[in-house]
Amino acid sequence: MLMRKTCAVLLLIPLILVSQSKVEIANQFKDKGLESLYSYTLLQELTVTVGSRLSGSKNYEKAVQWGKKTLQNIGCDSVWLEPVMVPHWVRGEVEEAFTVNGKVKKKLSICALGGSIGTPKKGITGDLIEVRSFEEVAALGIKAKGKIIFYNRPFDATKVSTGEAYGGAVNQRSRGAIEAARVGAAAVLVRSMTNAIDDEPHTGMMNYNDSIPKIPAAAISTVGANYLHDQLQTKKSVTVEIRLSCVTLSDVPSSNVIGEIKGSEVPNEVILIGGHLDSWDKGQGAHDDGSGVVQSIEVLRLIKELNLRPKRTIRTVLFANEENGLKGGRTYASDYNGKKFEHIVAIESDFGGFAPLGFGVSADSIKFEKIKSFSSLLEIVGADRIKRGGGGADIGPLAASGTAMIGLNPDSQKYFDYHHSNHDTIDKVHPRELELGAIAMAILSWAIGEEGLK
């Protein structure tokens, strides 16, 4: 009995030492992070000095240079650019829509959806048909011919997770033009993807199907959508005129930006952390995904600031082209997967720089439980909710080779108020909330770097 006790005590000693040291380091990440709020300084540089950074734009290339220089400045062991070919869609000068009633025109707040073709210069004019589902569109049949289809299914307000509400509405934006064109419509207007009721349109990616005619697609503000809905209740018909000058040019060469701190013991095992460096051309891409970019840089900076070296390699990737093509994530996976090193885990931050609540994890049970075992460390910054299911668009292509996928889960209530719109600016980001997310990522990356996932 005595001997067994002694053994237990002896066995516990190294465990406690390791564990105390992780607690101490987690607290140092917290203290250094909250004292400096450095991720906010970085976000100011990215949003104010560079600004919005759509794939293919000059601004995106400025952001690449900023990212490279910043990763070099914080003292990464290596920093490099990975070539990626990206789409080049340009919004153009003209995007406007009106309701037309004889000679009276009323302006609507719209913006082209990303990837949309433009209209003829004189615009497209047609009667509006309001729908809430693709079934309704299909049922229109011949009646849809030459009409403007108005998708007006709102976010489900009863979903506590706004991401879930987005998931339940976004096919109107991504596939609405295809389904409307299938029945001969001339254009589509899509209710903006947000819970907020205001006059700001929210852009975002839309798709075409090569076997179906391409028709222009625009987002309308929720106030505008409610107005059109009310008009359709009271009038026999509502005519809308839309003009867009957006255009898709040839693909252009661009880059992912990569920086890493080499592992001291198992350097070929890589913990990837990242966000996407591109944004839409509205606002400043402050939450989406400037926040994920600066948090991913801040993780490495905190490690350097504390003069630490992880056992495994921790690599920050600032991905190109998440918003309209995912070429950055796909190219990264194809270039690096199954090469000399193994991505044991990839952690993405792409739900905004709000107060972190925890992480969503897609991994097998053993890895999941291992990651969950770090929740007492993450509790230091209130980010201890480890739930099943999560990841990120950019890291998604790595999943095929067994990499554990992790997504930072911040509070979600305000994200879609700003997302893909002129409202996504740095004044909507709170310095401490942003930094707490970075610290949570640092704690988790460091812990996995020390212990691995096996």
404 or 436: whose CB is closer to a second copy? 436
In the complex, the smallest distance separating the C-beta of residue 52 from a second copy, rounded to whole angstroms, is 24
> Residue 365 contacts by C-beta under 8 Å, 6 or more apart in sequence?
none
What tokens appear for 442 in the block? 């640092």
In the complex, the smallest distance separating the C-beta of residue 382 from a second copy, rounded to whole angstroms, is 6
Residue 23 near a second copy by CB under 8 A: no
43 or 110: whose CB is closer to a second copy? 43
Of 160, 210, 250, 389, which lies in the binding site for a second copy, with binding defined by CB under 8 A?
Answer: 160
42 or 86: whose CB is closer to a second copy? 42
Which region, judged by CB under 8 A, interacts with a second copy, from 249-257, 265-273, 410-418, 445-453? 410-418
First and final C-alpha spacing in the chain: 32
Residue 427 near a second copy by CB under 8 A: no
Closest to 122 in 3D by CA, of 246, 245, 247, 243 = 243
Residue 357 near a second copy by CB under 8 A: yes
Residue 193 near a second copy by CB under 8 A: no
In the complex, the smallest distance separating the C-beta of residue 161 from a second copy, rounded to whole angstroms, is 9
Residue 199 near a second copy by CB under 8 A: no
- 322 annotated active-site: yes
262 or 430: whose CB is closer to a second copy? 430
Q: CA 449 to CA 407: how far, in whole Å?
A: 17
37 or 85: whose CB is closer to a second copy? 37
Of 3, 8, 10, 35, which lies in the binding site for a second copy, with binding defined by CB under 8 A?
Answer: 35
- CB 440, CB 356: distance < 8 Å: yes
> Which 434-453 positions form the footprint of a second copy (CB under 8 A)?
436
Active-site residue, from 322, 323, 348, 435: 322
The 8-class DSSP code of residue 428 comes to G
Residue 31 near a second copy by CB under 8 A: yes
What is the widest separation between alpha-carbon atoms in the chain? 97
Q: CA 163 to CA 447: how far, in whole Å?
A: 28
Closest to 289 in 3D by CA, of 201, 356, 348 = 348
Which region, judged by CB under 8 A, interacts with a second copy, from 205-213, 329-337, 359-367, 379-387? 379-387
Q: Count of CB atoms within 10 A of residue 7's CB?
A: 10
Angle at 178 between CA 174 and CA 181, to 5 degrees: 140
68 or 419: whose CB is closer to a second copy? 419
Burial group, residue 422, by CB count within 10 angstroms (0-12, 13-18, 19+): middle
Residue 355 near a second copy by CB under 8 A: yes
Of 55, 116, 194, 195, which lies in the binding site for a second copy, with binding defined by CB under 8 A?
Answer: 195
One-character DSSP codes across 242-288? EEE--EEEEEEEEEEEEEEE--SSEEEEEEEEEEES---SSTT-III
Q: Which chain residues interact with a second copy by CB under 8 A?
A: 30-31, 34-35, 37, 157-160, 195, 355, 357, 380-382, 411, 413-414, 430, 432-433, 436
Residues acting as catalytic residues: 322
